[in-house]
């Protein structure tokens, strides 16, 4: 190819012909219908709801009193991945939903056997009340967070209550005003309305009863907009492997954009899905260019990362003067979906190896974590011939609002380098003041995070190595107190581009100004006088954090 990349032998999305269909583990059943959603941005911001205290948690209804109306549990616990095929299991589909008894039967029909879907069981415990169980990540017994399922046979007037009864995180943004997402097919077809925040009386609380392990419940009430509609609920705006392939096919078929963007296969996933690598740079001599490496969707349930990646690619591949400049200055190596298998099957954190890929960079075996292994060795190859000025891995966060970054400061470098670590996030916060929170950023390298992409890339020699975390909720900054829309998430990608130009500006004014600002900010936090001889190079990262991030020192999602 023109960009020095070998032509890959994998199924790449050609501009013609059907998209390569995803491969599923053979235990999974997959319905034939195509699930598609329109993209839409609500005209008004969607505010957080008033959080309700735990003491008013709804009266629990035990499943024993109810009727199981949906049950689909593909992989038995303790099993592990063996093989995959297009369309999942070869046999005829089972019927996990209970059939309706007639037109007067108001039971909802549930379905989750589609790409990125996750719902294991629904129990009807009242005329319009359901207790739901999510499916743990395949081949594991934990990581229930992501949900995405369809309901049919809706009624417009009644107030429904849904309670997800097997969540595992003690704290959630659902306890601070975040609301789930609803999509109405009829509203999409008739009014062009897409995913929107719904739910009143949203509770997040500890399950009572002595069950082990302890679980947490998410409960909300909602009215459906139409009788007899097909609706979907989701934890975050879905972005599937097929969505990515559709986007890449449009790129490959575009005579302009394909001149400076090569779409190749980095490798294949365990299930045989292609993990794509995009190389983006202007066709001019690439010899002196520095590199930028970006990745997303190591954690499949963090779909906001794909929307930020979409925004980044939309901007970088556009005709905008800044985009042209970026392509002239840098070689971009982009892996938009590191864990396509997890995305396909509707996992929250794991790949089909049943482990978190973002803890496997340090030890990754080529056979178990092909995406992580090939990304790491690709970066090693790039570092052999050029400087990598930035690595950024896009994630989602379930317990803190806004957008922030985790960087790398182990306290061993000199004060100058330790300050520099913090410049890129500070610049990003200035470019996206209504979304990005610099005070929420952390730079301490915890032992538990030694296997993450950012820490391993940093140890390999990428000095500006970050995880970018975008809240599942939204923003509390700049007078906002509202949920992120897909446009907000895409805007993060645009702002990353602005920030890269500021960060690498040959005129050092902005950079120096930010360095001074970080220095002053840290001194102020530590109560040291500006201008006094007291630097803070002797201060450990833990002390810097404890003075900067208040009480939120809980283990992060990254």
Residue finishing a domain among 481, 506, 531? 506
Per the prediction, the chain carries an average pLDDT of 90
| 469 labelled catalytic | yes
Exposed, middle or buried by CB within 10 Å (0-12, 13-18, 19+), for 155?
middle
Give the span between the Cα atoms of 422 and 426, in whole angstroms. 6
What pTM was computed for the model? 0.94
DSSP 436: B
Lowest mean pLDDT among 103-107, 245-249, 319-323, 367-371: 367-371
Q: What is the pLDDT of residues 149-171, one digit of tens each?
A: 999 999 999 999 999 999 999 99
What CATH number does the domain containing 201 carry? 2.60.40.3120
Give yes or no: residues 222 and 281 share one domain. Answer: no
Residue finishing a domain among 483, 506, 529? 506
181 three-class SS: strand
Give yes or no: residues 46 and 186 share one domain. Answer: yes
**Inside any domain, residue 465:** yes
Exposed, middle or buried by CB within 10 Å (0-12, 13-18, 19+), for 314?
middle
**Inside any domain, residue 369:** yes
What are 323-326's contacts with CB under 8 Å, separation 24+? Answer: 323/497, 324/282, 325/501, 326/497, 326/500, 326/501
Lowest mean pLDDT among 51-60, 178-187, 312-321, 348-357: 51-60
Please tell me whether the peptide bond between 400 and the residue prior to it is cis, using omega within 30 degrees of 0.
no
Residue among 129, 176, 302, 469 flagged as catalytic: 469
Q: Which of 73-87, 203-217, 219-233, 275-289 has the highest mean pLDDT?
A: 219-233
Q: Which residues contact 112 (CB under 8 A, 6 or more apart)?
A: 70, 72, 118, 119, 120, 135, 148, 149, 150, 346
pLDDT beyond 70 at 45 = yes
Give yes or no: residues 205 and 254 share one domain. Answer: no
Q: What is the pLDDT of residues 75-114, one digit of tens each?
A: 877 899 999 999 999 888 999 999 999 999 999 999 999 9
Task: Quote the pLDDT of residue 556.
Answer: 45
Q: Which domain holds residue 253?
A: 241-506
* Confidence grade of residue 428 (pLDDT, cut at 50, 70, 90): very high
Give the span between the Cα atoms of 421 and 414, in whole angstroms. 11
Residue finishing a domain among 193, 208, 234? 234
Give yes or no: residues 227 and 311 share one domain. Answer: no
**Inside any domain, residue 382:** yes
Residue 520 sits at φ, ψ, to 5 deg, of -65, -40
Task: Quote the pLDDT of residue 530.
Answer: 59
Residue 11 or 517, more confident: 517
| N- to C-terminal Cα separation, the chain | 35
Give the span between the Cα atoms of 26 and 49, in whole angstroms. 41
Give the span between the Cα atoms of 134 and 136, in whole angstroms. 6
DSSP 439: G
What CATH number does the domain containing 376 carry? 3.40.630.10
Counting the structural domains of the chain, the total is: 2
């Amino acid at each position: 190819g023109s960009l020095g990349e070998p032509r890959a032998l994998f199924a790449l999305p050609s501009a013609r012909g059907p998209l390569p269909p995803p491969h599923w583990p053979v235990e999974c059943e997959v319905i034939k219908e195509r699930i598609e959603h329109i993209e839409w941005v609500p005209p008004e911001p969607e505010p957080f709801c008033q959080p309700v205290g735990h003491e008013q948690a709804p009266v629990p209804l035990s499943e024993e009193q109810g009727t199981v109306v949906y049950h689909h549990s593909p992989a038995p616990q303790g099993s592990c991945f063996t093989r995959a095929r297009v369309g999942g299991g070869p046999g005829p589909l089972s019927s996990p939903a209970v059939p309706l008894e007639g037109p007067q039967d108001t039971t909802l029909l549930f379905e989750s056997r589609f790409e990125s879907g996750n719902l294991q069981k629904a129990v009807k415990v009242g005329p319009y009340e359901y207790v739901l169980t999510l499916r743990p990540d395949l081949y594991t017994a934990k990581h229930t967070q992501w949900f995405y399922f369809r309901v049919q046979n809706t009624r417009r007037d009644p107030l429904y209550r849904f309670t997800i009864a097997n969540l595992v995180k003690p704290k959630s943004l659902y306890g601070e005003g975040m609301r789930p997402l609803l999509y109405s097919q009829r509203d999409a077809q008739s009014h062009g309305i897409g995913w929107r925040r719904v739910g009143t009386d949203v509770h997040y609380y500890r399950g009572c009863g002595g069950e082990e392990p302890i679980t947490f419940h998410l409960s909300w009430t909602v009215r459906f907009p139409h009788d007899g509609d097909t609706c979907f609920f989701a934890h975050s705006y879905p972005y599937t492997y097929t969505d990515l392939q559709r986007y890449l096919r449009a790129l490959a078929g575009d005579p302009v954009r394909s001149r400076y963007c090569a779409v190749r296969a980095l490798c294949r996933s365990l299930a045989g899905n292609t993990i794509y690598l995009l190389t983006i740079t202007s066709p001019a001599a690439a010899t002196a260019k520095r590199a930028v490496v970006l990745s997303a969707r190591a954690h499949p349930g963090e779909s906001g990362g794909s929307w930020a990646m979409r925004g980044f690619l939309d901007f970088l591949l556009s005709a905008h003067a800044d985009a042209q400049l970026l392509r002239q200055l840098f070689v971009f190596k982009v892996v938009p979906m590191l864990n396509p298998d997890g995305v396909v099957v509707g996992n929250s954190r794991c790949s089909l190896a049943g482990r978190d890929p973002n803890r496997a960079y340090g030890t990754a075996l080529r056979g178990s974590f092909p995406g992580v292994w090939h990304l790491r060795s690709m970066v090693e190859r790039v570092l052999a011939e050029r400087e990598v000025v930035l690595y950024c891995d896009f994630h989602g966060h379930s317990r803190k609002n806004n957008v922030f970054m985790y960087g790398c400061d182990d306290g061993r470098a000199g004060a100058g380098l330790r300050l520099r670590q913090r410049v890129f996030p500070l610049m990003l916060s200035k470019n996206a003041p209504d979304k990005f929170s610099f005070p929420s950023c952390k730079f301490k390298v915890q032992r538990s995070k030694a296997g993450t992409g950012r820490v391993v890339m940093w140890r390999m020699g990428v000095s500006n190595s970050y995880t970018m975390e975008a809240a599942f909720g939204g923003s509390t900054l700049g007078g906002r107190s509202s949920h992120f829309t897909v446009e907000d998430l895409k805007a993060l990608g645009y702002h990353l581009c602005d920030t890269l130009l500021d960060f690498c500006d040959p005129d050092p004014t902005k950079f120096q100004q930010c360095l001074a600002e970080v220095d002053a900010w840290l001194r102020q936090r530590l109560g040291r006088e500006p201008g006094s001889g007291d630097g803070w190079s002797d201060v450990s990262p833990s002390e810097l954090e404890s003075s900067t991030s208040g009480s939120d020192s809980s283990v992060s999602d990254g």
